[in-house]
């Protein structure tokens, strides 16, 4: 899936761990504050894009990791994996830094946009479930 990155703004909520919560927001949407519900939709869209970029067999394997880790049934419905994770993942809730109040998104991060273009589902899940040594 090729995105016209010029039509988007890359935004990472303050406190997002390892850019797990970074989203692409259509530039036109930044004319108003971004609500929590919109943010959740953008994050679900990011995950769904990653799933759709994978070979179906590879996506199924990676989504089974999610099932084993979080007990969320996503492998049988890969087209809704983003929504399921955004609504039910304890890991994502802890690491994405979901905004509670509407936020103004005023700055873009071109390097982050490029990184999101090249990101894979495996990359995203590795960051999401990474546990640093103590």
The 10s digit of each residue's pLDDT in 60-94 is 999 999 999 999 999 999 999 999 999 999 999 99
d(CA 32, CA 47): 24
Which residues, given as ranges, of the chain have pLDDT below 70? 1-2
Q: Note whether residue 133 is domain-resident.
A: no
Q: Which residues of 28-49 are buried (b: 16+ CB within 10 A; e: fewer)?
A: eebeeebeeebbbbbbbbbbbb
- For residue 99, give Cα distances in angstroms to 50, 88, 95: 22, 16, 12
Q: What is the pLDDT of residue 1?
A: 55
Structural domain including 51 reads 5-128
Q: What is the pTM of this model?
A: 0.94
Structure tokens at 130: 């990474």
- Provide the domain count of the chain: 1
Sequence-ordered alpha helix ranges (H) in 1-134: 36-53, 56-70, 81-88, 90-96, 110-118, 121-128
Q: Do residues 105 and 11 touch, judged by C-beta distance below 8 A? A: yes
Q: Note whether residue 32 is domain-resident.
A: yes
């Amino acid at each position: 899936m090729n995105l016209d990155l010029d039509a988007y703004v890359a935004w990472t909520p303050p406190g997002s761990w390892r850019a797990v919560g970074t989203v692409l927001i259509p530039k036109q949407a930044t004319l108003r504050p971004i609500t929590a519900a919109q943010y959740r939709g953008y994050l679900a869209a990011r995950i769904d894009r990653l799933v759709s970029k994978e070979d179906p067999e590879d996506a199924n394997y990676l989504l089974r990791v999610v099932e084993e880790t979080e007990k969320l049934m996503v492998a049988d419905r890969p087209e809704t994996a983003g929504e399921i994770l955004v609504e039910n993942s304890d890991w994502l809730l802890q690491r994405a830094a979901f905004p509670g109040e509407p936020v103004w998104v005023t700055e873009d991060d071109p390097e982050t946009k490029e990184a999101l273009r090249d990101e894979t589902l495996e990359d995203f899940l590795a960051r999401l479930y990474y546990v640093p040594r103590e």
